[in-house]
């Protein structure tokens, strides 16, 4: 007898857009995955990734039980043996080599899994190491540092009010591929075109004519790594042409005169020399920001993962402030989520540079060092050298700069354990792998992305399938390991409650809870009554009441700004003769390195090639579709080059996350794909000097025939 057809509603967990899904199942079979038309945020939209959810769930390469490495083989072991082996080795390493000899690395997928977020600190608290790392410093660290410095909390991140803006300046971002980033914005194509339909405009600044640039009103090519010159020239113009309007924020601004002084000399003419964008176009962008009611400047990966990433994100906030585009409709506003509403006194505000890394003296941010120093902390001998590593859903061999150095470092460890679903380029070095349940086997609440959404909503995601026998959720793994370590250390340990209980407490104590006097009196159970999600309303101005700085004001100037301005004044963004500047590339089907083992996401035209302008090819006597060698300071790779007018002259583009043909990787479909890892070229010494964030864009390379 056939099982009953069941219809379930949940959000997709494969990118920041958290699109609502309608999924029909029959027993263990997925019949269909469609967009949930009643989801108040995504409005029925889904992208190609959603259909691959079933590939993730049924992937035969996905681990379901603990395994240990024996030589070049993997053997299944029990959970008890796994916990005991891991705990004994971690405690032993610390006893022999010191507390900081154990390190943690957390990858991007953790933010899509609320069990990781609610329980991820358990082992850190027990082991007390200062060697903590994550994908944050390979991505958005400058956003958090600037928000911490200016507004007093690392999660006080103003989000574009895209549904009401009249002018949107998009710098180094490609939301049609990312579905938004630090801007949860499903259905982004329609939302951007809606700006144009209501008489507004949006402009894209990018070294490549991206999918987003293709539908923009205007696209300007920009030399990679020169964005700070553009942004400072816009600030210069706002002051020089008396266009500054700080609106209702005026009385809350600390350091406005200092901001004006930093912009002295950064003329549009200087910016034209460095960026390649005409001076008059730069002036016009500043005027458009100032003279359009409901304008917003937004910058993402291209301006964050470069040598002036923090300065760029600071300048973007300043431009929004000076043009009366912060905390106003159509501008950039802070969100009002049901869980994680940021207000004065809120936990997790952050801290910066309280201690520094052992080898390169890079600053910590909120207890984490930049991931660019992880390999050297393993490879450099001396007191405090990392000898054991815990990775959680991370693949730094493909995702961190100088991936070959990372690969070598991991092979040098005394012990490594990975909480991960796969034997990939990184986890193949582990001694033990502890796989959690898959996303469709546990419940979920989007802790991070409701905080970053362009419209306030909330929804609970029930599990689609029952977890298989003898499997563990990630939070159960962390509790189990925590208990074993605590027993060895002879310290008290109380396992943390399940994530839903923790989230429920936060929701009830949040801005929509009964304690706050809100009419909804939200609880997690009440949210469960709305399987399509619950609409909590559009973004509204509220920043002035929620500033978390000790002064209660917006602190425009942090200690790190003036030294970085001086560094910028002494910088020439133009490459030396014969060099090209390497940038990355995203595709809607492969945002990250963990999306290549699923047929639905790798099918179609290949997306791993190097893109290069035809004139740059001709200058090097290279032909379209030829094999070329790309060489940087740290290494070289060979791949296929494709001629493209979509990249500006002097720039080449290679996407992130490929290069799966490595010994020991057990991801069958991924291993069949061509392509190389762009992070075998990116440089662990080429960083944003303020934050230590990796600089993946603007890496100097040379290219010649293979």
Tell me the per-residue pLDDT of 488-534, one tens digit each, with 9 for 90 and over: 999 999 999 999 999 999 999 999 999 999 999 999 999 999 999 99
Residue range 575-705 forms a domain whose CATH class is mainly beta
Q: What is the predicted pLDDT for the residue at 1?
A: 57
| Pair type for strands 67-70 and 432-434 | antiparallel
What pLDDT is attached to residue 2?
Answer: 79
CATH number of 67-139+363-446+460-495: 3.40.50.740
**Element (DSSP H or E) covering residue 372:** none
The band of 594, judged by pLDDT with boundaries at 50, 70 and 90, is confident
Report pLDDT digits (tens) over 361-400: 999 999 999 999 999 999 999 999 999 999 999 999 999 9
Q: Do domains 161-327+544-566 and 575-705 have the same CATH topology?
A: no
Average pLDDT over residues 404-414: 97
Residue 556: its pLDDT value, please? Answer: 98
Query: pLDDT value at position 592?
Result: 75
Tokens representing 236? 């210069």
Region of residue 697 (left: phi > 0; alpha: psi -120 to 50; beta: else) = beta
What one-character-per-residue DSSP string does 117-148 give?
HHHTTHHHHHH--S-EEEGGGGTTHHHHHHHH
At 591 the pLDDT is: 73
Angle at 595 between CA 590 and CA 597, to 5 degrees: 130
pLDDT in tens, 564-576: 999 999 999 999 9
Amino acid 593: pLDDT: 78
If DSSP states are collapsed to H, E and C, what string results for 146-186?
A: HHHHHHCCCCCCCEECCCCCCEEEEECCCHHHHCCCCCECC
Q: How much is the pTM?
A: 0.98
> What would the mean pLDDT of 394-410 be, rounded to a whole number?
97
Architecture of domain 5-58: 2-Layer Sandwich (3.30)
> 610: Cβ–Cβ under 8 A, 6 or more apart, which residues?
628, 630, 639, 640, 641, 642, 652, 653, 654, 703
User: What b/e readout covers 510-535, taking b as 16+ CB neighbours within 10 angstroms?
Assistant: bbbbeeeeeebebbbebbeebbbbbe
Share of the chain above pLDDT 70, in %: 100
d(CA 687, CA 691): 8
To the nearest whole number, what is the mean pLDDT of the chain? 97
- Domain spans of the chain, in order of start: 5-58, 67-139+363-446+460-495, 161-327+544-566, 575-705
**3-class SS of residue 695:** coil
Does the structure show a pLDDT above 90 at 104?
yes
Give the pLDDT of residue 382. Answer: 95
Query: Per CATH, which fold does 161-327+544-566 belong to?
Result: Dimethylsulfoxide Reductase; domain 2 (3.40.228)
């Amino acid at each position: 007898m056939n099982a009953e057809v069941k219809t379930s509603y949940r959000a997709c967990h494969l990118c920041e857009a958290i699109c609502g899904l309608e999924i029909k199942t029959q027993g263990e079979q997925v019949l269909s995955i469609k967009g949930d038309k009643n989801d108040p945020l995504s409005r029925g939209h889904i992208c190609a990734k959603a259909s691959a959810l079933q590939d993730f769930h049924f992937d035969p390469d996905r681990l379901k039980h603990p395994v240990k490495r024996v030589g070049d083989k993997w053997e299944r072991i029990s959970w008890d043996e796994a916990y005991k082996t891991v705990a004994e080795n971690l405690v032993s390493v610390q006893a022999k080599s010191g507390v900081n000899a154990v390190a943690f690395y957390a990858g991007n997928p953790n933010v899509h899994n609320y069990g990781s977020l609610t329980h991820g600190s358990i082992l850190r608290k027990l082991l007390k190491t200062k060697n903590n790392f994550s994908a944050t410093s390979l991505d958005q660290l400058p956003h958090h540092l600037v928000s911490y410095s200016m507004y007093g909390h690392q999660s006080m991140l103003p989000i574009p009010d895209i549904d009401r803006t009249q002018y949107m300046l998009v710098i180094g971002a490609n939301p049609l591929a990312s579905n938004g980033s630090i801007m949860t914005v499903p259905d982004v194509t329609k939302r951007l075109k809606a700006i144009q339909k209501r008489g507004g405009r949006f402009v894209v600044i990018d070294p490549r004519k991206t999918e987003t640039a293709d539908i923009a009103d205007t696209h300007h090519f920009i030399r990679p790594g020169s964005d700070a010159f553009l942004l400072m020239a816009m600030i210069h113009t706002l002051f020089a042409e008396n266009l500054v309007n700080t609106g209702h924020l005026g009385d809350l601004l600390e350091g406005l005169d200092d901001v004006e002084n930093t912009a002295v000399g950064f003329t549009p003419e200087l910016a034209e020399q460095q960026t390649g964008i005409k001076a008059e176009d730069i002036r016009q962008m500043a005027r458009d920001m100032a003279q359009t009611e409901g304008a917003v400047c937004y910058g993402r990966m291209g301006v964050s993962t470069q040598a002036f990433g923090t300065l760029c994100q600071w300048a973007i906030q300043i431009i929004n402030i000076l043009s009366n585009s912060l905390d106003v409709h159509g501008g950039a506003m802070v969100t009002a989520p049901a869980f994680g509403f940021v207000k004065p006194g809120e936990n997790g505000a952050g801290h910066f540079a309280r201690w520094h890394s052992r080898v390169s003296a890079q600053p910590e941010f909120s207890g984490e060092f930049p991931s660019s120093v992880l390999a050297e902390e393993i490879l450099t001998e001396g007191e405090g050298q990392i000898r054991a590593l815990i990775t959680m859903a991370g693949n730094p061999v493909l995702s961190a700069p100088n991936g070959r150095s990372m690969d070598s470092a991991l092979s040098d460890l005394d012990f490594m354990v990975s909480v991960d679903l796969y034997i990939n380029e990184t986890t193949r070095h582990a001694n033990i792998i502890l796989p959690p349940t898959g996303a469709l086997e546990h419940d979920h609440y989007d802790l991070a992305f409701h905080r970053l959404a362009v419209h306030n909503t909330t929804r609970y995601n029930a599990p689609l399938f029952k977890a298989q026998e003898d499997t563990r959720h990630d939070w159960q793994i962390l509790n189990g390991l925590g208990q074993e370590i605590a027993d060895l250390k002879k310290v008290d340990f109380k396992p943390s409650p399940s994530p839903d209980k923790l989230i429920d407490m936060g929701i009830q104590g949040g801005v929509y809870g009964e304690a706050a006097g809100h009419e909804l009196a939200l609880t997690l159970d009440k949210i469960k009554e709305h399987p399509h999600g619950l609409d909590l309303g559009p973004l509204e101005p509220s920043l002035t009441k929620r500033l978390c700085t000790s002064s209660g004001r917006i602190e425009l100037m942090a200690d790190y700004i003036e030294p970085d301005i001086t560094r910028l004044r002494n910088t020439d963004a133009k490459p030396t003769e014969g060099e090209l500047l390497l940038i990355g590339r995203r595709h809607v089907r492969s945002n990250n390195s963990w999306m290549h083992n699923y047929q639905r996401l790798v099918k179609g035209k290949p997306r791993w090639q190097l893109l290069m302008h035809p004139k740059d090819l001709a200058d090097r006597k290279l032909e379209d579709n030829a094999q070329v060698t790309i060489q940087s300071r740290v290494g070289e790779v060979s791949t296929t080059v494709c001629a493209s007018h979509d990249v500006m002259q002097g720039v080449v583009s290679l996407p992130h996350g490929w290069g799966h043909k490595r010994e020991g990787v057990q991801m069958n479909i991924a291993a069949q794909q061509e392509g190389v890892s762009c992070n075998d070229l990116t440089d662990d010494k080429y960083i944003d000097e303020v934050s230590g964030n990796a600089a993946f864009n603007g890496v100097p390379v040379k290219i010649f025939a293979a």
